[in-house]
Structure 1
Amino acid sequence: MDDVKIGEILLPGDEKTQEKQEAKVRSRFWPTFKKAARQIPFSRDLVAAYYCATDRETPFRVRGILLAALGYFVLPIDMIPDMLVVVGFTDDIAVLTTAIALINRHIKDRHYDAADAALADHELPA
């Protein structure tokens, strides 16, 4: 997966696009996360990014980038289908890593606190 493709995926979009993306992410994030948790080495950061993306205090462009990355993550069909157990989330990891690296200073302690609480509350596969 090259940087041009990741750059295209991470376009923040306009307000209407972000609203659609947020609805999709909110409805599909936890089920997808539970399937992928063992394969994602930065689960806490990913969940904190989810809370940052859904936080209305997060700047518009940052929310857009995160929602685009999280939207890609929750899509069942992407460049490498997630049904392929071992490699299915590798493209998602690349997109998410890039997005988090671009906006990491916007993920606040409150987002990590929410992530820690959510991870403690959600039953994840062993």
Structure 2
Amino acid sequence: MTARHFDDPEIIGPEAGRENRVRRDFFRVLRKAAARIPFVDELVAAYFCALDPATPTRVRASLLAALAYFVVPFDLVPDFLIGLGFTDDVGVLAATIAMVRAHITDRHREAAKAALADDPAGPRKG
């Protein structure tokens, strides 16, 4: 029997699928929830950190898991519940960002600043 590393794909799930879902849905969901997230700038910087290939794998995996939780509409507290829907998402995101904050670089924050300057809830696709 071999010990599994905590970032083993069998444990954390398919990272590529999470990344695709996050890339596809992040800014759409952010537009809906931005008013209820007091740290939107840091959240968008975390998004860019998660997609940066230079970010360590375990940090990317943690951020992608938290961001995927954010974009999936049905979770512990369904997002469609007015007033409560994003409270669990905000908690998960805040805790994850706090754990990996050292890996969110000035480059990620500059990308976030540019995206938010273009559109307060991020760039639109297409």
Q: Same fold (TM over 0.5)?
A: yes
Q: Please identify the structure whose Cα radius of gyration is greater.
A: 2
For residue 80 of structure 1, report the CA deviation from its aligned partner.
0.5
- SS class of match (2:82): coil
1:19-78 deviation digits (Å, cap 9, x = unpaired): 110000000000000000000000000000000000000000000000000000000111
Unaligned runs of 5+ in 2: 1-5, 122-126
Tell me what 2:20 maps to.
23
TM-score, length basis structure 1: 0.86
Letter in 2 for 1:36: A
**Structure 1: distance between partners of 2:13 and 2:107:** 26
- Tell me if 1:60 matches 2:84: no
Tell me what 2:3 maps to.
none
- Tell me if 1:76 matches 2:73: yes
TM-score, length basis structure 2: 0.86
Cα separation, partners in 2 of 1:90 and 1:13, compared to 1, 3 Å: farther
Tell me what 2:124 maps to.
none
- SS class of match (1:105): helix
Tell me what 1:116 maps to.
113
For residue 97 of structure 1, report the CA deviation from its aligned partner.
0.7
For residue 88 of structure 1, report the CA deviation from its aligned partner.
0.6
Structural mapping, 1:39-58, within 5 Å: 39-58=36-55
**Structure 1: distance between partners of 2:17 and 2:89:** 19
Which range moved further: 79-88 or 115-124? 115-124
Cα separation, partners in 2 of 1:94 and 1:19, compared to 1, 3 Å: same
Considering only aligned residues, what root-mean-square deviation do their CA atoms show, in Å?
1.6
Cα separation, partners in 2 of 1:99 and 1:27, compared to 1, 3 Å: same
**Structure 2: distance between partners of 1:28 and 1:13:** 25
Tell me what 2:98 maps to.
101
For residue 16 of structure 1, report the CA deviation from its aligned partner.
7.2
**Structure 2: distance between partners of 1:85 and 1:60:** 35
For residue 113 of structure 1, report the CA deviation from its aligned partner.
0.2
